[in-house]
Structure 1
Amino acid sequence: MTQSRPFWRAIEAIHDVVYFAPSTKERYGAIGLKGFWMGYAASRSAAVGTPSAHLVTALFHGFAPALVQRAIPDAWQLADRDAVLAARLDVARDALAPALDGADVARIARDLGTITSRLDFAGKPLAAAHADLPTPADEIGRLWHAATIIREYRGDCHVAVLTAAGLDGAAANALAAVTGLVPPGQLDMRGWTEAEASEAIARLATRGWVDAAGAVTDTGRAARAQIEDTTDRVCAAGFDREATGRAITVEESVVAVARRLEELGAITYPNPAGVQRP
């Protein structure tokens, strides 16, 4: 049994607050990191340790190698890895707190934590790295930490599906762009040059996924939907019965949090994550 799309989309929203919070750049700047992108790259990859640019490019998949190299490995010379992780958790706590007013935070954190303890992490390196981090002592921290593990679990599954489909980082972003899942300028935002973006569109055209004008075809739309369906199945394979049951139990609560985040402006749609509202 696959987990519902609203569950996955809500988990994405809860995790993503650390990227869209207004305080993000300032928080990372206070510990030595330079600019939004360095904060993003370092904070998301710090669970692995102090990885190289090649490793971060591999883990993230959708970002241009040149963009990653602008941040890594310089980030590890400018800021302490533990300080990076602590700053990220503080951003998450502050961003989530207003949306959790009235929610049973302890129960949500407990249910999500149970899911993470039952996941099969084989082939999911970024999720496994986050699962190895210490569990925060506070309830909001535990909730976000568990949601992040689950989010990266799906992300690792999605990368496996994209690569199996023969889509590199630029082509995957181009397909998301032409199907309207991400904002205009997505490829530029993720570091791909105009030439690289044009080449990615050309690769989609050879499959019949875009037409001569670069607009998505019915075949391309169906292919993108199939990628999402396959990601659902790959994810479900790593959930045992207990994890699946907890996902069903907690879905209503996490969706309510995600919708409250949108109401507060903490998350907007469409966004660069390419995940629709729950």
Structure 2
Amino acid sequence: MTTDALESRAGRRCQNPLNTLHATHYFSPDLGKELAAVGITHPRAVNFAVRAAALGPVGPGAVTAVFYNYKHELVAEHVPAVWRTATPEQVLAARARAVDATLRRLLGDGAVASEEMAEAARLALRATEACSRSARPLYSAHADLPVPQEPHLALWHAATLLREHRGDGHLAILMSAELDGLEALVTHTATGRGMTPSWVFTTRGWTREEWDAAAGRLRERGLLDADGELTERGVALREEIEEETDRLDRAPYEHLGAEGVRRLTELAAGFARAAVTTGAYPADLIGRR
């Protein structure tokens, strides 16, 4: 284990581009193609299946619990029915094929086969050595999966582990802050870094009326103003949530060490920029409106 000093937000800055790389497949036509090949065609069913498959053929309650910000009724429309169409093992294999195709399309075969890709995979996998399974169901389920041999898939796998490790801890902090799933989405969108409301309605199942009701509860707590913007108290709460998430997520990055984190951030950011530039994400995905 390395012991060089790590700046307090270094792990967050490293995880951000890794998460950008991880999430490309959710918006990729390759994912829909590969899941359709095993019989799953509804976009929402695809989303639930690929992220929950590592848990096994679980029911809607488990998926709602670990995803946190999806409306339970939407989850129940597709889970567990999706497992009658394809097994979790089939879904995971289809997901791997989709990730391979997506990264090759977005980054190019040269980047996929590069020494920089292999280096990033080694660094990211080293960081995952210090992840903790305790109270982290999505991380722990993905940690049971084998590490792919090809570097670009190994990097994606490690990015997934680091994303879910941070995410599981983040949910504990949201609960401590007494933000339910929709309130968490509303406050995140208000920062300007979360999904637009239209994408929340499309992918999470909430309605405009439910969004407005959540915003009303947040105004009563003094976290949002009349225009739907974060108040000073709301800004402070969101930053406290991120800082506490950093604290729960510091072990992988302390294990990797400051120089390793710096280099992994540099490499991951380069790949993430290339993916975004190539059109990995919808233009209207992020924003307040």
1:99 aligns with 2:130: no
Provide the C-alpha distance between the structure 1 equivalents of 2:283 and 2:127, rounded to a whole number of angstroms: 27
Provide the C-alpha distance between the structure 1 equivalents of 2:176 and 2:224, rounded to a whole number of angstroms: 20
1:228 aligned partner:
242
- What does 1:265-276 correspond to in 2, within 5 Å? 265-267=279-281, 271=285
Instruction: Specify which of 179, 190, 198 is matched with residue 185 of structure 1.
Output: 198
Q: CA deviation at 1:269?
A: 6.3
Q: What stretches of structure 1 of length at least 5 have no aligned partner?
A: none
- Aligned pairs, number: 272
- What does 1:60-209 correspond to in 2, within 5 Å? 60-97=67-104, 98-99=106-107, 101-102=110-111, 103=114, 104-181=116-193, 182-189=195-202, 190-209=204-223
Q: CA deviation at 1:268?
A: 5.2
1:264 aligned partner:
278
Cα RMSD after superposing both structures: 2.0
Q: CA deviation at 1:192?
A: 1.2
- What does 1:40-59 correspond to in 2, within 5 Å? 40-59=47-66
Q: CA deviation at 1:205?
A: 0.9
Counterpart of 1:185 in 2: which secondary structure?
Answer: helix
Counterpart of 2:249 in 1: which secondary structure?
Answer: helix
* Cα deviation digits, residues 28-77 of structure 1 (max 9, x gap): 11111131110110110111111110000010001110111111000100
Provide the C-alpha distance between the structure 2 equivalents of 1:136 and 1:178, rounded to a whole number of angstroms: 38
Higher mean alpha-carbon deviation, 239-248 vs 29-38, is at 239-248
Q: What stretches of structure 2 of length at least 5 have no aligned partner?
A: 1-5
Q: 1:72 to 1:220 in 2, by over 3 A?
A: same
TM-score by length of 2: 0.87
Q: CA deviation at 1:90?
A: 1.2
Q: CA deviation at 1:10?
A: 0.5
Provide the C-alpha distance between the structure 2 equivalents of 1:159 and 1:233, rounded to a whole number of angstroms: 13
Counterpart of 1:144 in 2: which secondary structure?
Answer: helix
2:3 aligned partner:
none
Q: 1:255 to 1:240 in 2, by over 3 A?
A: closer
Paired residue type of 1:212: A
TM-score by length of 1: 0.90
Contact 1:119 1:243 in 2 (8 A): no
Provide the C-alpha distance between the structure 2 equivalents of 1:155 and 1:74, rounded to a whole number of angstroms: 26
